[in-house]
């Protein structure tokens, strides 16, 4: 059987020094920077990709997602919205601008009854859309919890009123 060194590569003491018995904070920082450099090389993440764009309040705050109007078959103006990332021939959506559907479109999310975006969206912009999607999901969950609390309070109140009325009826029968 071969030596253990054949099966296990030697540890790089500079990289794994904190796991080998504790070192000063400067060494931990150096190890982190080395590992981050390896990830950057392997994945291809550049410093430009790490820059964050400002958060959006709504999808229509993005300059390439625009509300507009179209002329329908009857010659009337109808509301619509346009995706600036899609090819020009297929980038306008009829109907009232729906922020949820527009966000699902650019993120290519299934089950929102809208076709996915066929354009190329930069990573930083996609992260901006993902943050907006997550913020909206948290807001939706908070709203659902608040509504459930109110419904529970109403149910509890109705139950107490019912018990109160039922107890009064018994007292009248006993007396």
The pLDDT score that the predictor gives to residue 169 is 63
Residue 69 bridge partners (DSSP): 79
Q: CA 62, CA 35: separation in Å to the nearest integer?
A: 35
Every domain of the chain and the residues it spans: 10-45, 59-107
User: Which tokens sit at 67?
Assistant: 């509300």
**Mean pLDDT of all residues in 147-153:** 96
How far is residue 145's CA from residue 150's CA, in Å, rounded to a whole number?
Answer: 9
Please give the pLDDT value at position 170. 60
- pLDDT tens digit string along 86-101? 988 888 998 899 999 9
pLDDT value of residue 100? 93
């Amino acid at each position: 059987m071969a030596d253990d060194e054949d099966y296990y590569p030697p540890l790089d003491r500079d990289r794994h020094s904190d796991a080998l018995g504790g070192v000063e904070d400067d060494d931990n920082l150096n190890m982190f920077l080395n590992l981050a450099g390896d990830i950057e090389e392997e994945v291809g993440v550049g410093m430009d990709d790490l820059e964050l764009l400002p958060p959006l309040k709504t999808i229509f705050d993005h300059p390439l997602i625009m509300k507009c109007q179209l002329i329908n078959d009857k010659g009337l103006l109808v509301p619509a919205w346009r995706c600036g990332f899609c090819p020009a021939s297929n980038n306008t959506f009829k109907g009232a601008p729906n922020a949820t559907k527009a966000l699902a479109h650019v993120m290519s999310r299934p089950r929102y009854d809208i076709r996915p975006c066929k354009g190329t969206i930069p990573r930083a912009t996609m992260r901006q859309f993902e943050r907006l999607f997550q913020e909206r999901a948290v807001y939706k969950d908070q709203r659902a919890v608040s509504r459930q609390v109110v419904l529970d309070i109403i149910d509890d109140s109705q139950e107490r009123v019912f018990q109160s009325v039922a107890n009064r009826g018994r007292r009248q029968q006993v007396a």
